[in-house]
Structure 1
């Protein structure tokens, strides 16, 4: 057992958070969690944070309570701001570890065990797992071959410096996690998870990767398009650019602007050079969108809204 663990494994408590917003498929997520392999030395509880203005998920949750092997704690946190829902999960968690899973994902029986195994072996403050996209047969071939919707962490100089909440485990006693919250100003645009994990890492938090803690997520028709992918990459770039420029003002931003502009030019040129290869062309075009978003973020342009009204930090 790694000495970084604050308590012995026999008394571990784990909460699993599911933030939901008008998605009936949250029932499939919960049903998959009911089948988790959990040893007798673990105590598991499910937290469902309903982010709709009305408690629209309550009926689904109540109907599943009798089938659940774990207690379910339902929290209604309206205002259509995902950061409010995520923060509610953090505030209501009473466990040693808090896991996040999205309301359109499903977990295999070993998912939680793999996250916890990596947390114990590494003593990391957060553990990320992969998410594999499931495409319909009528999804364009280039999209399926390029697998543009799956989620994996990005390493920088051999370490993971930011993360995501679609598949993660947080050690709640960590000094880099305790008291930390998701930015309300990013709750309608997205990027709140990037902001959270970037600052957690900057505070000394370590992020590990559990390759076998795999979740799956179907890709609906409205997301199976280049336009959706490009908008998402642009928005991700905006958050990245804003974080890069966070402690730089005035002329100190000029080198950052120059480097980002050069990246835009390079990726745009590569998009033209790979015009006859749909996968490589799309990958390059999406990188162009990412860097363009980063440039707008450096200049302080507000992130693209995805839903709801913007909250103040």
Structure 2
């Protein structure tokens, strides 16, 4: 019996979605599986429709309009269509990434070998020539999945995953009806919270280093300020995995100690831009954890004025 894999792709005014779709068109389906692609346009206007419908397609592509400038709305629209199709698996990829032809094969191979429900792969950043040296050397924009010990046990396993590169069992699973948090749809971290929820439902996680995707770093993201806001938000999102108030209290205590350590290390490293920025960004992550434990609102990092203007320029270009 053939199983269905639906690849979910959300887009907002990015011409790069064409390159993403072209790379998906070259995908090889694992034996016994068929592929379809669902694209949700998060813009109020149908700004991406002509790009999606005009892109090279070897697999069926469905375009849906999910206007809100809220990525969770678009993600939930993709999940709803996959649910209606009774897709056995869903895969997540971003609209500024390209995938190798064996991407799904590698993720599925890892799923079969481990029996895992969610399999993550790395998202490798491709930096422009004018990117700051310290940013490239420390590779702040790549996303490398890692194994972590869950807060409630000592077992070493992933607690979460990211929607930039993941494959997930779907139809008939306990989490089939789980949705992305709308409140996190403009701040980011909605995927972290989503996969944390799956972890608490019993989903098993694995990592496939052999299934990378590749992403060009946009010019507006080459600023220290953008990374600082993102790291702080990542810390806040991490708290969503804490299973109760006691776990949050422990997290807050650990975060305070880590913030203090990073502040001291940063002061010592002041003469070196590379080391100074490293400790600053590391400290902001832990400061974000502390803010999350205190339930402070998350900053908007997607859909703000700078990002909207940059997106508009890419559309016109």
2:226 maps to: 228
1:142 deviates by 1.2
Q: Normalization by structure 1: what TM-score?
A: 0.89
- Which of 238, 244, 261 is residue 247 of structure 1 equivalent to? 244
User: Is contact 1:47-1:74 (8 Å) kept?
Assistant: yes
Where in structure 2 are there 5+ consecutive unaligned residues?
150-155, 305-317
1:22 deviates by 0.8
1:174 deviates by 6.0
User: Is contact 2:30-2:108 (8 Å) kept?
Assistant: no
Cα distance in 2 for partners of 1:40, 1:171 equals 17
Q: Normalization by structure 2: what TM-score?
A: 0.88
Cα distance in 2 for partners of 1:295, 1:169 equals 31
Work out the number of aligned pairs and report it. 295
- Which of 132, 146, 165 is residue 140 of structure 1 equivalent to? 132
2:65 maps to: 76
Cα distance in 2 for partners of 1:77, 1:135 equals 30
Where in structure 1 are there 5+ consecutive unaligned residues?
1-9
1:230-279 Cα offsets, whole Å, 9 max, x none, are 110001112223543x7328xx8655433221111011112223334444
User: Is contact 1:13-1:43 (8 Å) kept?
Assistant: yes
Cα distance in 2 for partners of 1:208, 1:242 equals 20
- Which of 113, 116, 123 is residue 115 of structure 2 equivalent to? 123
User: Is contact 2:30-2:105 (8 Å) kept?
Assistant: no
Cα distance in 1 for partners of 2:207, 2:230 equals 23
- Which of 261, 268, 271 is residue 266 of structure 1 equivalent to? 261
Q: Quote the RMSD (CA, aligned, Å).
A: 1.9
| TM-aligned CA distance change 1:275 to 1:174, over 3 Å | farther
1:98 aligns with 2:96: no
1:50-90 Cα offsets, whole Å, 9 max, x none, are 111112111111212xx311111111011111111111111
1:302 aligns with 2:313: no
1:164 maps to: 162
User: Is contact 1:125-1:177 (8 Å) kept?
Assistant: no
- For 1:1-313, list aligned pairs within 5 A: 10-38=1-29, 41-64=32-55, 67-93=56-82, 94=85, 95-157=87-149, 158-173=156-171, 175-244=173-242, 247-248=244-245, 254-307=249-302
User: Is contact 1:101-1:165 (8 Å) kept?
Assistant: yes
